[in-house]
Amino acid sequence: MFESHVHTQSWSLAIICALVVTALVYLRGWLSLRDAFPSLIRGWRLATFMTGLFLVWTAVASPLATLDHQSLTIHMMKHLLLMTVAAPLLLAGVPMIPLVCGLPKVFTRSHLPLASLLARWLERSPTHPVLCWIAGTAAVIGWHLPVAFQLGMRSHWMHSLQDVSFLVAGLLFWWPIVRSSPSATRSPRWSMALYLFLATLPCDILSAFLVFCNRLVYPFYLSTHQLFSMVPLQDQECAGALMWVWATFAYLIPAVAITVQILSPSNTQSQGFVQAARQRVAGRSLNGVEV
């Protein structure tokens, strides 16, 4: 018990230090960018990034993080918070530019080849929507398999890895959706609505199984003190219902917003202008060839 408490405290302290350093580096970079290019990164992006960091702390290093060993509902809330709220908020802050600009000049000069290699890797990173969708789905389904779940709850290191993998999977999943410009992805915009709709299906299957299976899937909670005076099976049903409702709103609301944006008259008119301009340019080039 003492070893568990020491590990929890050391992990929480490490997370807090990492989040504070990240926030300070981002703020330093954002302030320098604001002085040089006032309209490059707006203030709302700073607010969303800081909110995302705060939610990561809430899910991983706050007192709430210690309650997931007593309630599957709290456990589900933590990972939904990381994947569907904190991750898109962090990406909405366009973190790479302020973080790179916020690093000390001594570090960037002495590690210039490393920084160049990192930037090149980020440009060529596997951001295809299919791979991002698989990463998010694999994290949700894989960690909720009974064997992996039991291992993650009984091993402190595996539990920490579980939290990190949910955040990383969330960042990968939302990368095709939350981006600075529509040209940041090669996929058509309408495919993102389908991308989000398909993401609800694995969550619906898992949550429906937790709600309607009528048996305890994770025996770990039989040996723990339950919160809210619920028996473990009731806690499991509540966790499944939470995931069902939360994931549905988290994925379908952006999907509807993207669909409305695509079907809006202004967007349709701008696409018509672009298509007409392309046809005009193509016609001129053909005339030039014929002459």
User: Could you give the CA distance from residue 83 to residue 257 in angstroms, rounded to a whole number?
Assistant: 19
More confident residue, 33 or 55: 55
Mean pLDDT of 238-259: 92
Secondary structure of residue 127 in the 3-state scheme: coil
- Per-residue pLDDT tens digits for 223-233: 777 777 788 99
pLDDT of residue 78 exceeding 90: yes
Token digits of residue 73: 């509902």
- Which has the minimum average pLDDT: 94-98, 166-170, 260-264? 260-264
pLDDT at 86: 96
Under 8 Å between Cβ of 93 and 45: yes
Per-residue confidence band for 96, with pLDDT thresholds at 50, 70 and 90: confident
Rounded-to-integer distance, Cα 11 and Cα 79, Å: 17
Could you tell me if 61 and 15 are in contact, meaning their C-beta atoms sit under 8 angstroms apart? yes
pLDDT (tens digit per residue) in 108-162? 555 445 455 555 555 555 568 899 999 999 999 999 999 999 999 988 889 989 9
Q: Which of 195, 194, 188 is nearest to 173 (CA)?
A: 195
Query: Percent of the chain at pLDDT above 90?
Result: 47
Average pLDDT over residues 249-262: 88
pTM higher than 0.95 for the full model? Answer: no
CA 82 to chain centre: 7
Distances in Å between the alpha carbon of 64 and those of 35, 43, 45, 138, 164?
38, 29, 26, 25, 16
- Which runs of consecutive H residues, i.e. helices, occur in the chain? 2-36, 43-60, 72-81, 87-92, 96-102, 105-110, 112-123, 129-143, 146-154, 156-174, 190-212, 232-263, 265-290
**Do the Cβ atoms of 80 and 250 come closer than 8 Å?**
yes
Angle between helices 43-60 and 72-81 (to 10 degrees): 150
Helix, coil or strand: residue 5: helix
